[in-house]
Structure 1
């Protein structure tokens, strides 16, 4: 409890500092963001992973590859020794749901050492690479979309949610997101073929990264009124990305077996997913009525319908988006995938953050992004690693509510500056 209390207090201070800097940036005051980002992120790089044990699973899955096992057929439980001691027991027998890139990389490192701490640092290095790619791409995307790059950089790169979950927890999602942002930025320079390849590489980390082809297709065919051109562009960009995804799997020797394990994250019934809440509600009512078989079927049916709706929405966005709102289309598509998917962890909401931040967000959307970032940063300790610990969860939740309540009151002072009238843009270098 002492550790949780200090953690919540530290996260609150981190958010308070971010809001204080944001007040100046949004007002158009010149502010160097790089030192702030460095001071808030570097202390996390050598410490143990925060809020999640996933990176220990990454280490163990890399060890599986190094030992000659197929990580898409067996779980870390077939191993022994220190490399599996910190793996969450829930994932000990499950196959890896990740793409070939992190597994092949983990296998290379595990051939050099089986020290779990070194393996964890090696995977955090991938998160650092993704973070750098995001920091490189966001100002360029903002400039292309006629958004103040300083505001976009503050809202995304300096965001404590990205720093805490991305660098602190070292999730694969950050590398996926960095590659997707870089693909979009490169597409805006006219190199859409290279961008489509990068989209495939992003999908080879985690599949949602491939959705950036929606933006790439919009850049390829700027004539928004011609559905045939848009469909052709989407088909070409998608084909290049899929071919890249398959090629990466073959070149790394890991293959494409991970596609059959994509339902593994759905084992956690997260309340952050709308479809999951509906499914659990329907299943609970049917179970209360004594229809246990129907309750289980309802859970699967609702999840399936939600995914079909998400796929339909993504298809519509892909065919209707234009070069002017391509970023918003990708952001909405990723948000739909999170909310309508079978599960949603708090760090999944980072997926849509860069794209919505550069999509000419008005005051309401900016406030919403800031509010979600505050809540999901300070509530970070309340994740699946605390399941069953009722008293710590209740006490920490109370602390979170108090801290968040105080910080949300500061949002009234954050008035977004008009992008075209900002007197002096803050530098990011």
Structure 2
């Protein structure tokens, strides 16, 4: 155990050093031209010159790598039983500390949240207009120029929270950011608590370690994405379903969907689970026409339909209340596809489209990238729908949280766009089912996700003529190749470490 204690300290220090490096660099690198922030956050948000080479991206990448290594070490220690639940929680809390007190990192999305809160306060509809309608207000000037004309894709509960945060801050950008960071921290705490409680008592340290991944710490807490609230409600809803509290479960899952729509798959999955739950003493004994069935057969049918009716009623009532939180609450359905207007070069659908276009050039076929992208995105949606239907059809064959996790992870990976925080949709439910899911899978997806969407890494090559245009042209190939290398490396590292640990224990 002494060796395990020393390894735990080493893992904690590696992760802490990595988190501090990311906080020191990733806030500055997330800035864009034309962005005016209300504070430099004690020098951590001083703008970087985007036309000159900089070593900051290298330090950011090293920081992410250290945090990933420390996290993988923590997971392996938890898997071996060399660390307790409280020790695991302390290490994750230490990693979260610099991220929680530092500035928003890796993304400017939080400032778009502030702008949407400002719009609602001014009686403007974020579902009809982009933040640019605000004019030269501080909340607009702080937001990402890429999204200033885009409509809000978030649900009515999310916008209601943004409006409340903006109002509580007195209409200040910094005050709203601090309130939203506090909400994100509360969301992460709820996520970790739900995952630990859902796991088998003997595997709770591993489940907690899996949930405290770099993606959760850096993207949900550090970048303050709304997934912190959505996934917290999702995890709480799944935990309530596991505890046999169907009404609370459906209310929580409806609230999660009213933050971001992908959580709707969890509503369907839990409803199917409830409908298929055997009811003692109500097995049918007649397969004839309904009128010919004896009373006990009709009772069995009603016993199956009753939970469906209950779930539909709870979701409908909860959804109505949530839609009424803001004006035009259903307008969210019109703008839910806003993120798909972007282009993430490392998304599988984008990489496949780029490959098709290149093959077309080689074969002397005129295949435009835009055409190939429409094809691959459609194929991704079809495959995702097929996977979800298959999961629902075989829902009794696996843990409920695992069903939700697999479905949402498939949606995140094969969707039109892939952002690293989307991975938490599936990773957290899968962490709740760690007794049924391999650690190598969670480790690989989390490790790969931690390196996605790192901002302005091209500054490493700014002094090399032609390097940036070449990297942009080859970005899909480079991204997909790098992801496969990371995947293979994590699998090999996990297996070797696990093999080494087993050999050591036997000795």
TM-score, length-normalised on structure 1?
A: 0.82
Q: Find out whether 1:415 has 2:494 as its counterpart.
A: no
SS in 2 for 1:77: helix
Q: Find out whether 1:369 has 2:442 as its counterpart.
A: yes
User: What is aligned with 2:80?
Assistant: 27
Structure 2 CA distance for partners of 1:384 and 1:360, relative to 1, 3 Å:
same
User: What is aligned with 1:38?
Assistant: 93
User: What is aligned with 2:188?
Assistant: 131
How big is each residue's C-alpha offset from its partner over 1:220-244, in whole Å with a ceiling of 9 and x where there is no partner?
5324999988787567535533542
Q: Find out whether 1:216 has 2:273 as its counterpart.
A: no
TM-score, length-normalised on structure 2?
A: 0.71
User: What is aligned with 1:60?
Assistant: 115
The separation in 1 between residues aligned to 2:442 and 2:218, in whole angstroms, is 16
Q: Find out whether 1:17 has 2:70 as its counterpart.
A: yes
Q: Following TM superposition, by how much is the alpha carbon of 1:40 offset from its aligned partner in structure 2, in angstroms?
A: 0.6
Structure 2 CA distance for partners of 1:238 and 1:154, relative to 1, 3 Å:
farther
User: What is aligned with 2:151?
Assistant: 95
Q: Following TM superposition, by how much is the alpha carbon of 1:291 offset from its aligned partner in structure 2, in angstroms?
A: 6.8
Structure 2 CA distance for partners of 1:266 and 1:34, relative to 1, 3 Å:
same
How many residues are treated as equivalent by the alignment? 409
For 1:184-263, list aligned pairs within 5 A: 184-217=238-271, 218-219=273-274, 221-223=276-278, 233=307, 236-237=310-311, 240-263=314-337
Q: Could you list the runs of 5+ residues in structure 1 that have no partner in the other structure?
A: 417-429
My pick for the range that moved more, 296-305 or 179-188, is 296-305
User: What is aligned with 1:6?
Assistant: 59
For 1:26-425, list aligned pairs within 5 A: 26-31=79-84, 32-79=87-134, 80-111=136-167, 112-143=169-200, 148-156=203-211, 158-217=212-271, 218-219=273-274, 221-223=276-278, 233=307, 236-237=310-311, 240-279=314-353, 281-282=355-356, 289=365, 296=370, 299-322=373-396, 324-360=398-434, 365-382=438-455, 391=468, 410-415=493-498
Q: Could you list the runs of 5+ residues in structure 2 that have no partner in the other structure?
A: 1-53, 285-299, 472-477, 500-507
CA-based RMSD: 3.8
Larger Rg: 2
User: What is aligned with 1:421?
Assistant: none
The separation in 2 between residues aligned to 1:163 and 1:321, in whole angstroms, is 31
